[in-house]
Amino acid sequence: MPPRSDLGAPGTGTFTQDGVRLIGRTEPADTLDDGVYNELAALAQRCVTGFSDDRPVSASLVRSRLTNALTGAAPVLAVAGNGQEMTGWCAVRRPESGERRARLWGPVVAPAFRRNGLGTRLLETVVDAAVWPLVTTDVPADRAGAGAFFARSGWDALETVTVLHGDPGDRGFEAITADGVPDADTDAYVAAAAVRHAHHDPVFARATLRRWQGDARFRPGNLLLDPASGSLLLALSQRNEASSELLLAEVWSTTAEVRRALISAAHTSAAAQRLMTVRAVTRQDPADFVACGMRVTGRCRTFTLPGGH
């Protein structure tokens, strides 16, 4: 397949001799073009297929995961190629206000180019360039080699999260959505919920809705509200050519009854949007998701790099 951007174009000189190019060291790079995100997404999709973190990976997902929503800054990105195509990449999203760590995604290495040290070179390149404490995205437990890779590289396991899947369907629950709610009211609602239910710092709480709106997958209709309790559920719809899902990204509530009602309402919304599956990733007890008919499909771990990174 020919490359969709100049990152892997033969003869352009965009790769260093060892096949790794760094973009955006300590200063933000210019906004990456659509072709780059398409190429990053295509390789990431190949690498998650068949594992518990298998999901539709599109350019909009990668852009959302890597771009700082508050500043629009592109990530610190290391890419590798063989002159014909992209063979691997690793990225760090710059931390937003209130975040203690920057988020690392990768290394993502094409199957045919693994076990030759490319993943290590990509990781070391972005770690050397990053100036913030780092934490990984979720690393599936069923991808044992990935966990061992981070352990060998000096990273410490931080926490375990649960991955669940459910089938869209009419659960008979309805919820108020942010559709039609004035922006100022939605902003105040989300900020109050962030402090009350998620225990975020007020400064971070006030920026929360802006962060969500900066995600290419965000739709006001997928922000479900329960005004009586001040609770909310944020869902993000994601599609690509092969599949689609509704990701339950945040559920903020102090009562199981409201949490379960919002989760059920999200399943109804997924059916109305003709999405193929509902997915949740939670650091808390998954009992409320299971009670709503979702099934545990995997466990993931996050890793952090001690010693100032």
The answer to whether position 41 is within a domain reads yes
- Asked if residue 79 and residue 33 are part of one domain, the reply reads yes
pLDDT for 29 equals 55
Question: Residues 6 or more apart from 183 whose CB is under 8 A from it?
Answer: none
In a domain, residue 148? The reply is no
Q: Based on the fold, state whether residues 221 and 293 are members of the same structural domain.
A: yes
Decide which of 100, 117, 137 is a domain's last residue: 137
Q: What is the pLDDT of residues 239-291, one digit of tens each?
A: 888 889 999 999 999 899 999 999 999 999 999 999 999 999 998 899 999 99
Mean pLDDT on 217-236: 95
- Of 92-106, 119-133, 293-307, which range is least confident? 92-106
- Convert the pLDDT of each residue in 52-83 to its tens digit: 777 888 888 888 888 887 788 888 999 998 87
Q: How far apart are CA 257 and CA 261, in angstroms?
A: 6
- pLDDT at residue 216 greater than cutoff 90: no
Is the Cβ–Cβ distance between 271 and 280 less than 8 Å?
no
∠ CA 12-15-20, rounded to 5°: 165
Residues 176 and 59 in one domain: no
102 close to 132: Cβ distance less than 8 angstroms? yes
What confidence score (pLDDT) does residue 188 get?
A: 95
Q: What angle do CA 258, 261, 264 make, to 5 degrees?
A: 150
- Domain range for 269: 165-298
**Same domain (yes/no): 125, 33:** yes
pLDDT value, residue 88: 94
Is residue 175 in some structural domain? yes
Tell me, yes or no, whether 178 and 107 share the same domain.
Answer: no
Domain end (from 137, 154, 188): 137
pLDDT above 70 coverage of the chain, percent: 90
Domain identity same for 180 and 282: yes
Q: Are 65 and 169 within one domain? A: no
CA atoms of 287 and 242, how far apart (whole Å): 30
Q: How far apart are CA 56 and CA 51, in angstroms?
A: 12
Q: Same domain for 191 and 95? A: no
| Residue 8 lies inside a defined structural domain of this protein | no
Higher pLDDT, residue 124 or 99:
124
Number of domains into which the chain is organized: 2
Tell whether 208 and 292 lie within a shared domain: yes
Same domain, 215 and 252: yes
Residues 128 and 228 in one domain: no
End-to-end alpha-carbon separation of the chain, Å?
37
Whether residue 140 is predicted with pLDDT greater than 90 in this model: the reply is: no
Please name every residue paired with 128 in a beta bridge, in sequence order, or none if there are none.
none
pLDDT number for residue 8: 43
Q: Residue 62 and residue 53: Cα distance in Å, rounded?
A: 14
H helix intervals, the chain? 34-48, 59-66, 118-129, 144-152, 183-196, 202-213, 256-272, 287-291
Kindly state whether residue 109 falls inside one of the protein's structural domains: yes
Instruction: Specify if 85 maps to a domain.
Output: yes
Tokens for 127, please give them: 């770690």
Among residues of the chain, what percentage have pLDDT more than 90? 49
Q: Residue 63, Cα to own-chain centre: how many angstroms?
A: 10
* 3-class secondary structure, 32: coil
Residue 3 lies in a domain: no
Mean per-residue pLDDT of the chain: 86
Cα–Cα distance measured from residue 122 to residue 80, given in angstroms and rounded to the nearest whole number: 8
Q: Are 123 and 90 contacting, i.e. CB atoms less than 8 angstroms apart?
A: yes
Using CA atoms in the order 194, 195, 197, 199, what is the torsion angle rounded to 10 degrees? 110
Q: Cβ neighbours of residue 241 under 8 Å, at least 6 residues apart?
A: none
Q: Is the backbone peptide bond immediately before 107 cis, with ω within 30 degrees of 0?
A: yes
Mark which of 117, 137, 157 sits at the end of a domain: 137
pLDDT of residue 246: 96
Burial class (CB in 10 A: 0-12, 13-18, 19+), 221: middle
Does residue 37 sit in the same domain as residue 105? yes
Tell which wins on pLDDT, 189 or 18.
189
pLDDT tens, residue by residue, 14-66? 444 456 888 766 555 556 778 888 999 999 998 887 777 778 888 888 888 88
In a domain, 156, yes or no: no
Tell me, what DSSP letter sits at residue 254? S
Q: How far is CA 210 from the centre of its chain?
A: 16
Q: What are the phi and psi torsion angles at 249 (to 5°)?
A: -85, -35
User: Does position 110 have pLDDT exceeding 60, yes or no?
Assistant: yes
**Which CATH number belongs to the domain containing residue 206 in this structure?**
3.40.630.30
